[in-house]
Chains A and B, each alone.
Chain A
Amino acid sequence: MSKKLAGYGGIGIVLLVLTLLICLGIGSVALPIRDIALILLHRIPWIGSHIDPTWNASFEQIIVKVRLPRILLGMLVGAALAVAGSGFQGVLRNPLADPFTLGVSSGSAVGASFLIFFGLQYSFFGGWTLPAVAFVTGMLTLWMVIALARESGKIPTNSLILSGVVMQSFLGAVVSFLSAMSNRTINEIIYWTMGSLSLRGWSYTAILLPYFLVGFAVVWSRARALNLLSLGERQAAHMGMNVDRVKLGVLLVSTLLTAAAVSVAGIIGFVGLVIPHVIRLITGPDYRLIVPLSAIGGAVFMVWADTIARSLLAPTEIPLGVVTAFVGAPFFAYLLYRNKKQRKGRWT
């Protein structure tokens, strides 16, 4: 297992670094990869002092002030959503669960929109207010979706997706209503519904980072429990697992990850669905691999999606949620189709 993790993880890290170097260079001003690498190395203490600055000083400004914070934030958002998705899929033992399809993203967005609408986003706890409120409304939404879908103790795939869609459309309408009511803040709320990473400085990264680190550590530490859970809840209980505590814990933390990501970048669909699945197809069903590799995969995917979003029709930006939906929705359809074909499913 650890050999496999090192192998796949190594490949993942290489992809992540390549993504960083290439995507930093793409934009209104194209930058050479060599300069990017040198500028980044120069910033690293100890190594940096050995490198002479031979590059154009304005390049450094573009990278450090504009592109780097955006790309790092994208990595964090993508990783958070993908880890949340793997957590939801593991606990609900449902291949179609993800922050977006479960309505958790929309739920978090409603909380965020209310704050923005009333201009309260920095009251109470400063920069932490938005994620906290988004977490509460996201959790409420998840609770309602599961309560709506539950049939005599079980949560069938179809009714889970249905109740997720119901909640999503209702909450989406609430957000649209709020944005229609408000003249002043209309653009900002619209951001939430479509997802965007533009004009987010370093402070957003600083808010998201601790949420991500804690959430990732908790979900990963529960990976063996999630493996056990795929044998059935009763089996897991017979093997000494406290099933209810693990389920509640992972659901809470996955919701927290979602809420934190949504509160800095808005609703970005399907990342949490697609990434854990692709990883599962490559590595098999072991959550000890799926969770960390999803984090890397989500980061890579999100940065490329954002690069497409900002450069394809430049200077116009395509909303990020639109780009991920172009990839994610067909994939979702494919999963539905495959799930229909093999009811019992081998996806675990």
Chain B
Amino acid sequence: MIEIREAGKQYGGITALHGLNWSVQEGEWWGIIGPNGSGKSTLLQLVSGVEKASSGEVLIHGKPASAYNRKILSRMMAVLQQDGLPPVHYPVREVLEMGRYPYQDWLGRDEGGDPDALIESIMEKLQLHELADRPLDELSGGQRQRVALGKVMAQEPQILLLDEPTTYLDIRYQHQFMELVAQWRKEEGITVVAVLHDLNLAAQFCDKLLVLRDGQAVGMGTPEDMLTEETIRLVYGIEPVIVPHPVSGIPQVLVTRQR
């Protein structure tokens, strides 16, 4: 579904990504982890087709991401950024409708079926009904991020790219957000690629992790294989302890203070 071959990216004189090889199969949920400046967001930009790789190839369904018509690509792939939606004065329902943009012709007619029914079912799923007519700038950060998720749902993509979507959320909304994505994946079989800072969240929700450091892949595989004390120490330069989650057994990362 996503095929990355020797992809590199330079900004000015700085290399953000060195010859990365990576492939994502349909229906997988990948987490991309690594310290700040390791190339996570750059990689996501390349996959989303907004930026073009300086070297190598980024293929979506066998075709370079940057070669797609933007509208066609947006029907296939949606992106949710960490800052989600700005506090604009549009009511929630209209923001969700904006997600239909890639399906609309120049007169604003939807070419992809019944948008009203779709928007209704999304509001149902995300419990946005009571917020439908409230303007976005009156909502809390957590509510706004839920609207942002609703907007990318309206885009009906096969691939969802998340760029640190939980950064500004409290722990309750972080989990609520991830559960909503998980439920969406279960129902529609979408492929998810998420850049995440929170290793424990990544371990709980992702099938596989791609670990980046200095623009290079340190490893890729299941959370059990990737979240080892050795890897975390190497990548983040901290002193970790890995413990299995007492309920689920999934590896969780604790940090020991250095003195």
- Contact among B50, B87, B106 with A344 in the assembled complex (CB-CB below 8 Å): B87
Q: Does B191 make an interface contact (CB < 8 A)?
A: no
Q: Does A227 make an interface contact (CB < 8 A)?
A: yes
User: Knowing A231-B85, A235-B81, A237-B50 touch, does A242 contact B70 (C-beta < 8 A)?
Assistant: yes
Contact B88 A238 (CB under 8 A): no
Q: Does B71 make an interface contact (CB < 8 A)?
A: yes
The total of chain A residues at the interface (CB under 8 A) is 23
Q: Does A285 make an interface contact (CB < 8 A)?
A: yes
Chain A 337-348 interface 0/1 with B at a Cβ cutoff of 8 Å (1 = within):
000000010111
Contact B104 A227 (CB under 8 A): no
- Contact among A221, A224, A231 with B88 in the assembled complex (CB-CB below 8 Å): A231
Contact A239 B94 (CB under 8 A): no
User: Knowing A230-B88, A284-B89, A346-B137 touch, does A238 contact B79 (C-beta < 8 A)?
Assistant: yes
Considering only residues 211-263 of chain A, those with a C-beta below 8 Å from chain B are: 221, 224, 227-228, 230-232, 234-235, 237-242
Contact A240 B74 (CB under 8 A): yes
Chain B 54-78 interface 0/1 with A at a Cβ cutoff of 8 Å (1 = within):
0000000000000000111111001
The total of chain B residues at the interface (CB under 8 A) is 31
CA distance A296 to B180 in the complex (A): 45
Considering only residues 259-284 of chain A, those with a C-beta below 8 Å from chain B are: 284
* Nearest CB in chain A: distance from B162 CB, A: 12
Contact A348 B88 (CB under 8 A): yes
User: Knowing A286-B90, A348-B89 touch, does A238 contact B106 (C-beta < 8 A)?
Assistant: no
User: Knowing A238-B50, A285-B90 touch, does A231 contact B137 (C-beta < 8 A)?
Assistant: no
For A234, the chain B residues whose CB sits under 8 A away are 50, 81
Q: Does B102 make an interface contact (CB < 8 A)?
A: yes
CA distance A238 to B88 in the complex (A): 18
Q: Does B39 make an interface contact (CB < 8 A)?
A: no
* Nearest CB in chain A: distance from B252 CB, A: 32
* Nearest CB in chain B: distance from A257 CB, A: 20
Chain B 167-209 interface 0/1 with A at a Cβ cutoff of 8 Å (1 = within):
0000000000000000000000000000000000000000000
Q: Does B166 make an interface contact (CB < 8 A)?
A: no
Contact B90 A284 (CB under 8 A): yes
For B137, the chain A residues whose CB sits under 8 A away are 346
- Contact among A239, A285, A286, A288 with B101 in the assembled complex (CB-CB below 8 Å): A239
Chain A 270-311 interface 0/1 with B at a Cβ cutoff of 8 Å (1 = within):
000000000000001110100000000000000000000000
* Nearest CB in chain B: distance from A10 CB, A: 21
For A227, the chain B residues whose CB sits under 8 A away are 90, 94, 98
Q: Does B38 make an interface contact (CB < 8 A)?
A: no
Contact B99 A239 (CB under 8 A): yes
CA distance A239 to B86 in the complex (A): 15
Considering only residues 72-129 of chain B, those with a C-beta below 8 Å from chain A are: 72-75, 78-79, 81, 85-91, 94-95, 98-99, 101-102, 104, 106-108
* Nearest CB in chain B: distance from A206 CB, A: 29
CA distance A26 to B90 in the complex (A): 41
Considering only residues 119-171 of chain A, those with a C-beta below 8 Å from chain B are: none
Contact B88 A285 (CB under 8 A): yes
Contact B98 A228 (CB under 8 A): yes
For A238, the chain B residues whose CB sits under 8 A away are 48, 50, 74, 78-79, 81
For B95, the chain A residues whose CB sits under 8 A away are 231
For A231, the chain B residues whose CB sits under 8 A away are 85-86, 88, 95, 98
* Nearest CB in chain A: distance from B165 CB, A: 13
- Contact among B90, B99, B101 with A241 in the assembled complex (CB-CB below 8 Å): B101
User: Knowing A240-B73, A242-B70 touch, does A232 contact B90 (C-beta < 8 A)?
Assistant: no
Q: Does B155 make an interface contact (CB < 8 A)?
A: yes
Chain A 75-110 interface 0/1 with B at a Cβ cutoff of 8 Å (1 = within):
000000000000000000000000000000000000
Chain A 21-45 interface 0/1 with B at a Cβ cutoff of 8 Å (1 = within):
0000000000000000000000000
User: Knowing A238-B50, A241-B101, A346-B137 touch, does A232 contact B86 (C-beta < 8 A)?
Assistant: yes
For A239, the chain B residues whose CB sits under 8 A away are 74, 98-99, 101-102, 155
* Nearest CB in chain B: distance from A227 CB, A: 6
CA distance A284 to B93 in the complex (A): 14
Chain A residue nearest in CB terms to B48: A238
Chain A residue nearest in CB terms to B101: A239
User: Knowing A234-B81, A239-B101, A240-B75 touch, does A285 contact B106 (C-beta < 8 A)?
Assistant: no
For B94, the chain A residues whose CB sits under 8 A away are 227, 286
List 14 extra interface pairs beyond A228-B101, A238-B74, A348-B88, CB under 8 A: A221-B106, A228-B98, A231-B86, A231-B95, A232-B86, A240-B73, A240-B102, A241-B70, A285-B89, A285-B90, A286-B94, A288-B108, A344-B87, A346-B87
Those 8 A-B pairs whose CB atoms lie nearest each other, nearest first: A240-B74, A240-B102, A240-B71, A238-B79, A239-B101, A348-B88, A285-B89, A240-B70
| Chain B contacts to A: CB under 8 angstroms | 48, 50, 70-75, 78-79, 81, 85-91, 94-95, 98-99, 101-102, 104, 106-108, 135, 137, 155
